[in-house]
Amino acid sequence: MNSIFSIRKEIIEICRLIYTRGLVTATDGNISARIGENEILITPSGKNKGMVEVQDLVVIDLQGKKISGIMQPSGEYRIHTMIYQQRPDINAVVHAHPPYATAFSVAGISLMQCVLPEIILTIGAVPLAEYATLYTEELASSIEKYIKDYNAVLLKNHGVVTIGNDLLCAYHRMEKVEHMAKIIYLARTLGNIDVLTKEQIDSLMKVRESLGLSSISLCDTCENMCGIKSSKNNI
């Protein structure tokens, strides 16, 4: 694991990226990284992500107790602590409100179809969690049943959560989810979406294996049609 100082700097860099690329506005979103067995570094509550500074970051434990920091931790810290408790292999969490992906969540449409080869190689399917109230245990609970099997989850009428073995991985997955959502949206406006066939998906899974990548969770339809099994704890 990188030094705490380098992790602090990387969180700030990703705060700037999600803000400048329009994945959040104003004080939306939150980012965290594991820095110890029972400690995480998380962005503060109520500050524009384009303006967050190193000294603003807060250290909390996995029970949500503040350990150090001038500001208060993000009000959505429960999402982060739950994920780190459930996924010891995960070291970073990014939550943002990318417009196209969030629009799918508002419309009640998941991103579970196997459409883009690069998404199958890097993320897998993106399920849609049930609606839950912000800043409550209910919100963390709404994605708990998905987080063991998926690398990204749509939050109903809210946004997206992505996870990774490091901050850059979690951030890249956020970008990819939004890019996929935009492409699927545009394809829907054209009137047709060609889902990948069993043979095409099988070939992609062989590519994953040849690259030394772990197995990945795909949609229920793909599992039923293609005989592909989802697995847990996929980085």
- C-alpha to C-alpha distance for 194 and 32, rounded to whole angstroms: 36
Q: Tell me whether residue 13 is one of the annotated catalytic residues.
A: no
φ, ψ (nearest 5 deg) of residue 143: -110, -5
Residue 82 φ then ψ, to 5°:
-60, -45
Single-letter amino acid code for the residue at 27: T
**Rg for the chain, CA atoms, rounded:** 17
159-164: strand order across its sheet = 66-68, 58-61, 39-42, 30-34, 92-96, 159-164, 152-155
Contacts 24+ apart (CB under 8 A), 207-214: 207/121, 208/120, 208/121, 211/121, 213/121
Which of 13, 37, 53, 76 is catalytic? The answer is 76
- Helix orientation angle between 99-107 and 167-190, rounded to the nearest 10 degrees: 60
Handedness of CA 20, 21, 26, 28 (dihedral sign): negative
Angle formed at CA 124 by CA 179 and CA 194, multiple of 5 degrees: 65
Backbone angles phi, psi at 94, to 5 degrees: -125, 130
Q: Residues with catalytic annotation?
A: 76
